[in-house]
Amino acid sequence: MAALEAAFVAMNGGGRACAVSSGTAALLLALHGLGVKAGMTVAVPSYSCSALLNAVNMAGARPVPVDVRPDDFTVDPASVERLAPDAVAVIAVHTFGATAQVAALKSSGRLVIEDCCQSLGGRQGLVGDASVYSFYATKIITGGQGGLVWSQAAEVAEAARDYREFDCRETYVPRFNFQMTDIQAAMIESQFVRLDEIRSRRRTIRSRYLAVMRALTGAGWRLQAGLDEATHLPYRFILVAPDSNARDAMKERLERDNVASIVPIERYELLHRYLNADSRHYPVSEMLADRALSIPLYPGLSDDEVDSVCEVLGRAA
Ligand SMILES: Cc1ncc(COP(=O)(O)O)c(C=O)c1O
């Protein structure tokens, strides 16, 4: 586990790392390390994952969902000001690999946790007050489960380390068992050393799809922005349909040709819907839940499989 933590410190050019049992645990421990507690408000992008609600609630704070930007699907700083003016902290997810507006969020004086669970290897995570990673089965690299907190500030990572295990302590404060096992750490490390290769393969597949998508973009479809720089690691390839009927029809069409696609975040999963907040404040999250479709993008896809997906997309255009 120490070697994995050292690898993250090297990747981020310094700071401290704390490996834990999941990305959700990493979020909770980042909040704890930053002193977020009961009575405080934390802004979370509605178009994200319920793990964010769980971590903020576990910290005793109040999660307030905010909307995301239509181009790159990351948290919208203007929506934070509008819907969560009293937020002391924001969890900024680098959605599907695109970079959130961390500097803008920080300039409002709030603490920012960079959620890199979908962007490991994309060179994000260095501007906020703490960063979190997940090694869940579907993530960029995996230990089955696992997570990590990284921060430039030693006290944030040290507070996380203190909380992560409870045995043989001379003094008592509430702690938990959030440890990563050495077996998980070894699996994760073995993939970590291949991050450049993983990024490059994912980018190659993305550029193949981009080439066939030109025809579809003329017909009212669009793509997620913010993934063009060579340093970015695309986690998903998202098509945004002109409307929900076109999205559902494309999904069925792909399925008929044996190409699995998924709706990355369903309407019922939007965080504002879980909290029964007024949907009118979240037009972009609602639109994406209705129209986004994710097609296969992972390094294990063979060239032949990529060719088949391109052919099917080309026929749909
Ligand atoms: C953006 C984001 N944050 C946090 C998590 C939580 O990670 P984990 O499943 O490892 O608890 C996930 C995914 O599962 C995620 O997608």
**Mutation to probe ligand 1, out of 22, 49, 94, 178 (largest number of atoms < 8 A from CB):** 49
Look at residue 215 in the predicted model and tell me its pLDDT: 81
Kindly report the number of other CB atoms within 10 A of residue 8's CB atom: 21
Which atom of ligand 1 approaches the CA of 48 most closely?
1
| C-alpha 236 to ligand 1 mean position (Å) | 15
Shared-domain flag, residues 70 and 107: yes
Residues with CB under 6 A from ligand 1: 22-24, 48-49, 51, 93, 115, 117-118, 134, 136, 147
Residue positions counted in the chain: 317
Is pLDDT of 298 > 80?
yes
Helix (H, G, I), strand (E, B), or coil: what is residue 49?
coil
Q: Which atom of ligand 1 is nearest to the CA of 25?
A: 11
Rounded distance from Cα 314 to ligand 1 centre (Å):
33
For position 214, what pLDDT does the model report? 84
**pLDDT (tens digit, 9 = 90+) per residue, 220-269?**
899 999 999 999 999 999 999 999 999 999 999 999 999 999 999 999 99
Rounded mean pLDDT, 14-24: 98
Q: Are residues 282 and 242 in the same domain?
A: yes
The mean predicted confidence, pLDDT, of the chain is 96
Domain with residue 137: its CATH number is: 3.40.640.10
* Residue pLDDT, tens place only, 134-183: 999 999 999 999 999 999 999 999 999 999 999 999 999 999 999 999 99
* Ligand 1 atom closest to the CA of 24, numbered from 1: 11
Spatial distance between the Cα atoms of 209 and 308, rounded to a whole number of angstroms: 11
123 dihedral zone (left: phi>0; alpha: psi -120 to 50; beta): left
- The predicted model scores a pTM of 0.97
* Ligand 1 centre distance from Cα of residue 198 (Å): 20
Cα-to-centroid distance, 123 and ligand 1 (Å): 18
- 184 and 215 housed in the same domain: no
The more confidently predicted of residues 132 and 217 is 132
Same domain (yes/no): 171, 212: no
- At 18, give phi and psi (nearest 5°): -140, 110
Contact between residue 104 and residue 75 where contact means Cβ atoms under 8 Å apart:
no
Beta bridge partners of 44: 65
Please tell me the total count of domains within the chain: 2
How would residue 43 be classed by pLDDT, with cut points 50, 70 and 90?
A: very high
**What SS3 state is found at 176?**
coil
Q: For residue 27, give the ligand 1 atom closest to its CA.
A: 4
Same domain as 203, residue 299: yes
Instruction: Pull the structure tokens for residue 168.
Output: 């043989």
Radius of gyration of the chain (CA): 20
**pLDDT number for residue 50:** 98
Q: Is 97 left (phi over 0), alpha (psi -120 to 50) or beta?
A: left
The strands making up 41-45's β-sheet, listed across from edge to edge, are 16-20, 147-151, 130-134, 111-115, 87-93, 41-45, 62-66
Distance 134 CA to ligand 1 centre (A): 6
- Domain end: 192, 213, 242, which one? 192
Query: Number of C-alpha atoms within 13 angstroms, CB side, residue 142?
Result: 9
Residues 138 and 265 in one domain: no
Share of the chain above pLDDT 90, in %: 96
Q: Is 210 found in the same domain as 258?
A: yes
φ and ψ at residue 272, rounded to 5 degrees: -70, -30
